[in-house]
Structure 1
Amino acid sequence: MTAGIDTPDRRGRTGLDRHGRDLTGNPRVRVHDVEVLSCHWSVLRNTTFDYQHRDGHWSREQRETYDRGDGATILLYNTGSRSVLLTRQFRLPAYVNGHPDGMLLETAAGLLDGEAPHEAIRREAAEETGHRIGMTEAVFQVYMSPGSVTERLHFFAAPFDSARSDTDSHGVAAEGEDIQTVEIPFDDALTMIRTGEIADAKTIMLLQWAALDGPFRRAHP
Structure 2
Amino acid sequence: MEYRIVSKKPLYRGFFSMDAIEVEHDRFDGGKQTVLRENMERGDAAAMLLFDPQTDQVLLLEQFRIGPVPRQDNPWLIEIVAGIVDEGETVEQAIVREAHEEAGFVPYRTTWLGRYYTTPGACSERIDLFLGLVDSSTPAGDGGGMADEHEDIRSYWVSRAEAMQMLTDGRIASGAPMLALLLAFGCQGVVNNKSFTTEDTKDAE
Report the TM range for the smaller structure's normalisation: 0.7 to 0.9
Q: Is the 8 A contact 2:103 2:144 kept in 1?
A: yes
SS for the counterpart of 2:113 is: strand
TM-score, normalisation: structure 2: 0.84
Q: Is the 8 A contact 1:168 1:182 kept in 2?
A: no
Q: Is the 8 A contact 2:10 2:19 kept in 1?
A: yes
Using the TM superposition, give the Cα deviation of residue 62 of structure 1 relative to its aligned residue in structure 2, in angstroms. Answer: 0.4
Q: Is the 8 A contact 1:73 1:156 kept in 2?
A: yes
Q: Is the 8 A contact 2:24 2:33 kept in 1?
A: yes
Please say if 1:195 is aligned against 2:169: yes
**Aligned position for 2:102:** 128
CA distance in 2 between partners of 1:37 and 1:126 (Å): 35
Which sections of structure 1, spanning at least 5 residues, go unmatched?
A: 1-25, 214-221
**Aligned position for 1:69:** 43
TM-score, normalisation: structure 1: 0.78
Moved over 6 A (4+): none
Using the TM superposition, give the Cα deviation of residue 52 of structure 1 relative to its aligned residue in structure 2, in angstroms. Answer: 2.9
1:66-215 equivalence runs, <5 A: 66-100=40-74, 102-114=75-87, 115-165=89-139, 170-212=144-186
1:174-193 CA distance string (max 9 Å, x none): 11100111111111111111
CA distance in 2 between partners of 1:105 and 1:187 (Å): 16
Q: Which one scores higher on RCO, CA 8 angstroms, separation ≥ 6?
A: 2
Identity of aligned residues (%): 30
Which sections of structure 2, spanning at least 5 residues, go unmatched?
A: 188-205
1:110 partner amino acid: G
1:110-130 CA distance string (max 9 Å, x none): 011121011111100000001
Using the TM superposition, give the Cα deviation of residue 96 of structure 1 relative to its aligned residue in structure 2, in angstroms. Answer: 2.2
RMSD: 1.8
Q: Is the 8 A contact 1:84 1:185 kept in 2?
A: yes
Using the TM superposition, give the Cα deviation of residue 168 of structure 1 relative to its aligned residue in structure 2, in angstroms. Answer: 6.5
Using the TM superposition, give the Cα deviation of residue 166 of structure 1 relative to its aligned residue in structure 2, in angstroms. Answer: 8.6
Please say if 1:41 is aligned against 2:15: yes
CA distance in 2 between partners of 1:41 and 1:206 (Å): 26
